[in-house]
Amino acid sequence: MTDGARTATLPGPAPREVATHCPYCALQCGMTLREEHGQVTVLPREFPTNRGGLCQKGWTSAELLTHPDRLTTPLLRDPVSGELRPASWDAALDRIVTGLRDTQQRHGRDAVAVFGGGGLTNEKAYALGRFARVTLGTRNIDYNGRFCMSSAAAAGMRAFGVDRGLPFPLSDLGRADTLLLVGANPAETMPPLMRWLTEQRQRGGKLIVVDPRLTATARQADLHLQPLPGTDLAVANALLHIALTAGYVDESYVANRTTGFTAVRRTVAGWWPARAEALSGVPVADLEETARALGTAQRAIILTARGAEQHAKGVDTVTGFVNLALALGLPGRPGSGYGCLTGQGNGQGGREHGQKADQLPGYRKIDDPEARAHVARVWGVSADELPGPGVPAYQLLDSLGTASGPRALLVFGSNPVVSAPRAARIEGRLRDLDLLVVADFLLSETAALADVVLPTAQWAEEDGTMTNLEGRVLRRRALHRPPPGVRTDLQILTTLTTRLKGGAPSYRLAHRKGPLLTTIEHAADGADATDGEHGADPRAVFDELRRASAGGLADYAGISWERIDAADGVFWPCPDEDEADSPRLFADRFATPDGLARFHPVEHRPAAEEVCAEYPLYFTTGRVLAQYQSGNQTRRVGALRRAAPQAFVELHPDLADRLEVTEGEPVRVVSRRGEFHAPARLSAAIRPDTVFAPFHWGGAARANSVTNDAVDPISGMPEFKICAVRVEKAGTS
């Protein structure tokens, strides 16, 4: 008997395969899921972003589909024992509907709030915004993307008139002569992206990394600038100062394609390199080398990520680098540009379709009368009925349960008890709510506080679209249906709408061309999902999203699932099904009314909290390869838990000596807001005045117990990347 025949005689159904994308980060690596004998295997798939590569999180992602911790029934808090108990969908939905109605009757429509996530598909993000504005009629909706790339989004908006993380395909990185990464550690946060950086250097390109730590990414760089956290803006202004004096500025580009440079020229005149060195610790020679490498390259790319952005001056810091890019004539020049590395799986699409407090679908502004009229028409309501703008995420979370804030909250796709700044305070606010509803597939720290927990489907169990860090719209394809008892987020929203309004939302179909490709239909296992399920078809939701976005900045009107299937995704804006999509932006004009990019003068300012005698160290936070975000998913995956079993506090050996702390010894990190505990990890890779911890753990190891809740005045981004702390041996008091 041949091997093939042996395989063929095995019992059970034929293996099933589906080409889809990873459930985690914005790289959205292509993968194939293969199901055989009830086992799901992840296989890498050739896709333009990952070129067959996957990181450890992607490889192990299927483990959660059948994980014993998986939620398969709704949970209701027992009023007597105070515990969460399994309940029927009917009982759970009744509790929610009664609670929402009661709250709104007593305290008004805005007393109910919604919190979404950048991991939700486009369809869900869109449906969530519509649910909040139309079904609930509340202005109070925002999402965790506020904690993610909101500063880069705001800076991009005001400079270019549009916010698309990368305005060019990722493959451009491989051909850049000079690549400057500011506060990005893709070697841990997007490992397959490193292939492009390897290619770049093999072609003779120069890689420069700006990070207070000598990270795995910085180790591969030709030049590592190691600034004090929170001083990137001084570095950016000094680089532009040098570019001006050395004659690297592209004066004709500045004259023809931009406006506002005079004021910036004046500001950066005061940023002579020695001044930036004194503030940031980056040597003048390194600043000069960086400016030269950028200024003399034919193809130069500047990228920022969370290290530069998660500050109370994040928008201005990004603007500093955008100013530099514009002065050098990079945006729109082939192979050059400025971009932000978006983080969450649908961090890009999640910020376009209306789960943001100030936004309607298509990246429209909710206070723009024309935008309101257009979207209201699509939704079949009057524009007057649509609420106005709400407040950004931190402000929203911090107002929960207070006299003037919302009294009920629905959470889809976030775990703020672990991931919000000053998390102990936010945890308290969540506890003060009259009603907390969390939809999740695993009991997160936030779900554990809820009155009602709804078990939702996972990525491999539903269809939808995601928009990756390049602005490329992709298809997430279902492998199989959700397990019994589990519903999709769209089903939950539809069912709630039916029960609250007495009728399901009908998603209006756009005109479709060509035959429908067969997909696994969304899960509508009749027995569970009784009411309103016809509004839960992701394809119908996407078709309505196309119409709602038509004419907006993020125009999806010409993107159909069929078109995505026929290519490696479709780049927005794409207004017309018969026209090409937009992999590269800004070749001829920017998305501003006059087509010119805008310079904005920006000045360095200190962090919201400076070190002092009591809190003498800078504290910064970030990620490790084997854990994702609040860790609710990845802390449960065996291989990932073994690779990164617990939190740690990274500190320089000299500092450890002074504190008399040894490797592995438990330490306590204390700020004005709280403390957390974790073992010390000694490393010469970090500045001696700065300590670092990952934020992936909750409980006593929660880094966000100490972080600062100061926010950027424009974006609402919290200052996750710098605050003042002291570090003590855990045994002392």
Ligand X SMILES: Nc1nc2c(c(=O)[nH]1)N[C@H]1C(S)=C(S)[C@@H](COP(=O)(O)OP(=O)(O)OC[C@H]3O[C@@H](n4cnc5c(=O)[nH]c(N)nc54)[C@H](O)[C@@H]3O)O[C@H]1N2
Binding site for ligand X (CB under 6 A): 25, 117-120, 144, 147-148, 182-186, 188-190, 210-213, 215, 229-230, 232, 305-308, 310, 343-344, 412-416, 418-419, 439-442, 444, 456, 489, 620-623, 625, 627-630, 632-633, 692, 695, 703-704, 707, 720-722
Residue 167 interacts, among Mo ion, ligand SF4, ligand X, none and using kind-specific CB cut-offs from 5 to 8 Å, with none
Give the β-pairing of 472-476 and 570-571: antiparallel
How large is the greatest C-alpha to C-alpha distance in the chain, in angstroms?
Answer: 81
Least Å distance, CB 266 to ligand X, is 25
In the list ligand X, ligand SF4, Mo ion, none, the entry touching 632 (Cβ below 5 to 8 angstroms by class) is ligand X
Q: Which residues contact 709 (CB under 8 A, 6 or more apart)?
A: 394, 398, 421, 422, 425, 673, 718, 719
| Tally of residues, the chain | 733
Which residue has tokens 């992936």?
696
Strand partners, 85: 76
Report whether 103 contacts 408 (CB < 8 A).
Answer: yes
Q: How far is the CB of 389 from ligand X (least distance, A)?
A: 21
Q: Name the residue among 57, 15, 5, 21 with its Cα closest to residue 38.
A: 15
CB of 384 vs ligand X, minimal distance in Å: 31
Instruction: For ligand X, give the closer residue by CB, 74 or 552.
Output: 74
Q: State the minimum distance, in angstroms, from the CB of residue 143 to Mo ion.
A: 11
In the complex with ligand X, the residue whose CB is nearer, 378 or 391, is 391
Q: Is the dihedral of CA 409, 412, 416, 420 positive or negative?
A: negative
Distance in Å, CB of 104 to ligand X, minimum? 22
CB nearer ligand X, residue 29 or residue 591: 29
Among Mo ion, ligand X, ligand SF4, none, partner that 28 touches (CB below 5 to 8 angstroms by kind) = ligand SF4
90: nearest Cα among 535, 531, 537: 531
717 binds Mo ion (CB under 5 A): no
User: What whole-number distance in Å separates Cα of residue 364 and Cα of residue 374?
Assistant: 10
Q: Are 418 and 630 in contact (CB under 8 A)?
A: yes
Report which residue's Cβ sits closest to ligand SF4.
Answer: 58
Nearer to ligand X, 123 or 555 (CB): 123
Out of ligand X, Mo ion, ligand SF4, none, which partner does residue 542 contact, by CB within 5 to 8 A per kind?
none
> Do you find a cis peptide bond into 601, omega within 30 degrees of 0?
no
Residue nearer to ligand X on the CB measure, 189 or 200: 189
Minimum distance between the CB of residue 61 and ligand SF4, rounded to whole angstroms?
7
Shorter beta-carbon distance to Mo ion: residue 343 or 416 = 343
Per CB under 5 A, the segment of 68-76, 263-271, 342-350, 447-455 that binds Mo ion is 342-350
In the complex, the smallest distance separating the C-beta of residue 281 from Mo ion, rounded to whole angstroms, is 27
Least separation in angstroms between CB 240 and ligand X: 16
Comparing CB distances to ligand SF4, the nearer of 192 and 230 is 192
φ and ψ at 619, to 5 degrees?
-120, 130
Is the Cβ of residue 563 or residue 696 nearer to ligand X in the bound state? Answer: 696
Token representation of residue 374: 């257009």
Q: Are 79 and 99 in contact (CB under 8 A)?
A: no
Minimum CB separation from ligand X for residue 111, in Å? Answer: 22
- Binding of residue 27 to Mo ion (CB under 5 A): no
Backbone angles phi, psi at 338, to 5 degrees: -115, 145
Closest CB 42 distance from ligand SF4, rounded Å: 9
Give the Cα separation of 171 and 514 in Å (integer): 31
Smallest gap from residue 26 Cβ to ligand X (A) = 7
> Footprint of ligand SF4 on this chain (CB under 6 A)?
22, 24-25, 27-29, 50, 54-55, 57-58, 190-192
**Which residue of 343, 345, 406, 573 would you call a contact of Mo ion, by CB under 5 A?**
343
| Closer of 26 and 557 to ligand SF4 (Cβ) | 26
List, in sequence order, the alpha helices (H) in 521-652.
Answer: 538-549, 561-566, 638-643
Site for Mo ion in 147-186 (CB under 5 A): 148
Is 58 or 392 the residue whose CB approaches ligand SF4 more closely? 58
* Torsion, CA 584, CA 587, CA 591, CA 594, rounded to 10: 180
- Report what 144 binds from ligand SF4, Mo ion, ligand X, none; CB cut-off 5-8 Å by kind: ligand X
CA dihedral over 48, 51, 55, 58, signed as positive or negative: positive
How far is the C-alpha of 410 from the C-alpha of 432, rounded, in Å? 14
CA pair distance 117, 345, nearest whole angstrom: 10
CA 516/CA 510 separation, integer angstroms: 13
**Coil, strand or helix: which one is 440?**
strand
Question: Cβ of residue 149: shortest distance to Mo ion, in angstroms?
Answer: 7
Chain center to CA of 394: 15
Nearer to ligand SF4, 229 or 307 (CB): 307
177 or 719: CB nearest ligand X: 719
When asked if residue 282 is in the footprint of Mo ion (CB under 5 A), the reply is no
How many helices (H) and strands (E) in the chain? 23, 28
Closest approach of Cβ 344 to Mo ion, in Å?
A: 5
Minimum Å distance from CB 346 to ligand SF4? Answer: 11
Instruction: Please give the Cα distance from 707 to 620 (Å, whole number).
Output: 8
Contact partner, 325, from ligand X, Mo ion, ligand SF4, none, Cβ < 5-8 Å per class: none
What are the beta bridge partners of residue 409?
113, 436
Annotate 327-376 with DSSP letters as a single string.
HTT-TTSTT-EEEE---BTTTTGGGTSS-STTEETTTEETT-HHHHHHHH
Q: Give CA–CA dist 722/619, Å, rounded.
A: 5
In this complex, which beta carbon is closest to Mo ion, that of residue 118 or of residue 329?
Answer: 118
Give the nearer residue to Mo ion in terms of CB position, either 191 or 483. 191
Ramachandran category for residue 526: left, alpha or beta (phi over 0 → left; psi -120 to 50 → alpha): alpha
305 binds, among Mo ion, ligand SF4, ligand X, none (CB under 5 to 8 A by kind): ligand X
Closest to ligand SF4 by CB, 27 vs 84, is: 27
8 Å CB contact between 406 and 437: no
CB 489 within 8 A of CB 457: yes
User: Which residue has 């008890």 as its token pair?
Assistant: 417
Residue 630: CB minimum distance to Mo ion, A = 11
CB-nearer residue toward ligand SF4: 191 or 295: 191
d(CA 50, CA 44): 9
Pick from 433, 477, 481: nearest CA to 457 = 481
Q: Residue 29 binds what, of Mo ion, ligand SF4, ligand X, none (CB under 5 to 8 Å, by partner type)?
A: ligand SF4
Q: Which does 117 bind (CB under 5 to 8 A by kind): ligand X, Mo ion, ligand SF4, none?
A: ligand X
State the minimum distance, in angstroms, from the CB of residue 188 to Mo ion: 13
CA 405 to each of CA 103, 386, 396: distance values in angstroms, whole numbers, following the listed order: 12, 19, 8
**List of residues contacting Mo ion (CB under 5 A):** 148, 343
